[in-house]
A and B are shown apart, each in its own frame.
Chain A
Amino acid sequence: MTDGDAGKDLQRRLLSEYYGSLSDEGRNGRKVAYMFVPGNVVELTRCFDMLPVYPEINALQCGIKKMAGDLILRAENLGYSSDVCGYVKNDIGLMLSDRKSPFGVLPKPDLLVCNYSGCNTFVKWFEALAHFYDAELFVLDIPYLREREAAKEDVDYIVAQLEELATVCARISGVPFDRGRLRRTLELSMEAERLWVEALKTAQSHPSPYDAYFEAVFYMAPLNILRGTEGCVEYYRLLLEELRARQKERRGPVPEEKFRVVFEGPPPWPHFRSFWELFKRWGVCGVASTYSKVGGLFDQGILHDPAQPLESIARYAMNCYTNWNLGLRLDLLRRYVKEYEADAVVIHSTKSCRSFSVGQADFREVLVKNDGIPTLMVESDLADPRYYSEAQLKNRIDAFFESLSHRRLLGG
């Protein structure tokens, strides 16, 4: 039964090709631009043959491969406090161990593009890398989204900076800026994004053919790392086919889908499997998640658009989940509960990521008291394995779904 193997194999091949391209021979002279996933401008940097490296992706991979603990310790030995973000310390630890990542040695940055969308820590992160690597830093300032539509001044401000960034990339790469190539790349991005939105929507069926949290975080990898490439579009075409097939066979990630849940917040990468198990035992299936929208809120109608190259990049950059103000984030959670017919919301609050966590307690206040949506909030961390206490999490998760099933039994 080819349950999703084609998709998995293609993703594995694409990722190994990507990491291969980062090795010394793989690069063959091409320059390297470090960027962040939310609001990144990879379509622009691809025009200059620059290779993208995403420190967050390296950090979460180290988390999954159980390397995060030692790397964070190395950064703390240098003086980083236990109160700062685990992703940053993981990356600083990687730098201190000559960038030996789970996928081989990563290249040094020729340019740090700090697309500062929804996370102030990004600026601090790249100020540190600029210090340690003595590398050039371009802070692409992306204003916080206060109204649903991005204000004209905000978009103009970003577009003006993109033009300046283009001249910096041209200088560093020696490749002149070809706006035609930008449009072709944007077409590939838009196509992949449209397919991804279709794939996401399959979770509206009962049962959902995939877990929109625990599996979506892997399905979104190509869109975060390979956006604007042929392979990326091919992957999402395959993924959509597979999910449609599962929909027909009414097959989902859990044997029997008892609870449809909307997840808010990043997962605890160092304990991903055990955290998923705490929910699987109750027949929980994620039908929507906000973390999978960190790389872009495509399902809210904001796609890249070759007809308005820089404007659509600017608008995309502002519409990443953590760059939305709390009012917009709360409405999105409520819409997801309706559109995907969810039974409850689970908020995973992480100590490292305050841009996600601060305000989640207020969400819970509204969801439970105003909207009557059962909401559980649990705490651990997305990068630092030391903050994950399984017994406490199990106690809270069991109590939550026990009272849900009890209420369901009494027709509550």
Chain B
Amino acid sequence: MAFARESVADTSLSAVRTWKEGHPAGKAIGAFPVYVPTELIQAVGALPVWLFGAGGSIDISHADSRIQSFVCSISRSTLELGLTARLGTLDGFVFPSICDVARNLSGVWSRNFPETFVEFLHLPQNRDSASAVPYAIAEYRRLLNGLSRLTGRPASEADLRAAIESHNANRRAAQDLLAVRRETPWLLDAWESYLLLRAGATMDRDAHTQFLRNAVAAARRRGRKEKDRLRVVLLGAFCEQPPIDLIRAIEEAGCYVLEDDLLLGLRWFREPIPADGDPLRALAEAYVTQSPASSVSHYRGRRKQDDLPASIRAIGATGVVFCTAKFCEPALYDQVLYKERLEAAGIPYVHIEFEEKMSVFETVRTQVETFVESILFE
């Protein structure tokens, strides 16, 4: 756990430097949340590095001259990291389609760092259309060609299949970790599992998979006792991540967080992606047909808010904690539709607002405690 905590707190990405010492010609590619097919980065022998802003650890004084203040903190702090050369170890950046701010940030990025490799990946939003899969394949191929040129190493079908398999294993380990929390929440706190997953942001995939497997085994051996707590689901923190102390404050206020969308991009698919056929088609089809309900891509077929009440009850949760980043528009729009369906289904919820650079959690603790009391005090 100590290792995980340090690697997350280290915004200068020293872990990437150590990886590069082990891979002399190796390149590292930064991926902005929420979902990027990092298999493509691994397939060209590069290290995918997830960028989750700088939390409260740095002051914003350069980014202000490029970006307004009424935008989320993750975009401002990531730009600050770039402008203060703290991301020097990264050789390129991939911005996926999340929202207008992230999309425009890719433009600000390529203007301020003209020599760096910057790619904006347009993930298909009309996933009901027959043309969505071919388009996704074309986008993935365009990205892959760019990455190959950058690393000077084309990706063979075998490289792609190996990358898919190592990602499948990583996602399986992540699902196992979250299953411990879902079935026996007293054995593994949400902030602990968050740290374990987040450590993977700067780690090689297979190393992270082994790291998670050890953690799952260790968690199962713990002898902790179950406490009288409210079982909840946490929704809305899929891109800008809340401070770890905020997650702890929610748990200490009397909650077991069975399910959440923290670090959603690291575990985007529940089912493994087939590694036998054409790898790009497999990745594209997975994105178009299996992506989870999320605020960053238009849902396929049904409306995602209709499925929410049933999925809450299925895992035995009693309430929902909406935990949205200040100024995060996609999360705030969806929260209204979700709350409509929760009210109709009689499932209680509370909405708290956070910023990655928050240092005071009194109001959050009071709100969640009140929420727990309003349910436990029947």
Contacts and interface: CB of A to CB of B under 8 A. Distances in A.
Same complex: yes
A3 interface: no
Given A161-B131, A325-B120, A124 B108 contact: no
A325 B108 CA distance: 9
Interface in B104-136: 104-108, 110-112, 120, 122, 124-126, 128-132, 134-135
B111 A131 contact: no
B329 A84 contact: yes
Contacts of B124: 141, 157
A80 B108 CA distance: 29
Contact of B298 (A123, A143, A354): A123
Interface string B225-267: 0000000000000000000000000000000000000000000
A143 B111 CA distance: 20
A121 B327 contact: no
Contact of B100 (A138, A354, A362): A354
A119 interface: yes
A327 B336 contact: no
Instruction: Please list the 10 inter-chain residue pairs (A to B) with the smallest Cβ-Cβ separation, ordered nearest first.
Output: A326-B107, A160-B131, A355-B100, A124-B333, A141-B126, A153-B138, A358-B104, A157-B135, A141-B125, A81-B332
A327 B120 CA distance: 13
Interface of A: 78-81, 83-85, 88, 116, 119-121, 123-125, 127-128, 130-131, 138-141, 143-144, 146, 151, 153-154, 156-157, 160-161, 164, 325-327, 329-330, 349, 351, 354-355, 357-362, 365-366, 379
A366 B125 contact: no
Given A78-B336, A79-B336, A139-B298, A359 B329 contact: no
Given A144-B97, A354-B104, A358-B104, A139 B126 contact: yes
Interface residues of B, number: 53
Contact of A354 (B106, B126, B329): B329
B334 interface: yes
B68 interface: yes
6 contacts: A80-B332, A120-B99, A131-B303, A153-B142, A164-B129, A365-B66
Main secondary structure of the interface of B (DSSP, over half): helix
B76 to A, nearest CB: 10
B336 A128 contact: yes
B135 A358 contact: no
B332 A143 contact: no
Residue from the set A131, A327, A330 with the largest chain B CB neighbour count within 10 Å: A131
Given A131-B340, A359-B108, 18 more contacts: A79-B339, A80-B332, A84-B332, A85-B329, A88-B333, A116-B125, A120-B99, A124-B329, A128-B336, A141-B129, A144-B97, A144-B103, A153-B135, A157-B135, A325-B106, A326-B107, A357-B70, A359-B105
A327 B75 CA distance: 19
B121 to A, nearest CB: 10
A351 B329 contact: no
B215 interface: no
Interface of B: 64-68, 70-71, 75, 97-101, 103-108, 110-112, 120, 122, 124-126, 128-132, 134-135, 138-139, 142, 298, 303, 305, 326-330, 332-337, 339-340
B329 A164 contact: no
A164 B104 contact: no
Given A79-B335, A120-B97, A358 B303 contact: no
Nearest to A146: B120
Residue from the set A139, A141, A365 with the largest chain B CB neighbour count within 10 Å: A141
A124 B303 contact: no
A153 B143 CA distance: 14
B64 to A, nearest CB: 8
B334 A156 contact: no
A360 B337 CA distance: 31
B298 to A, nearest CB: 5
B141 to A, nearest CB: 9
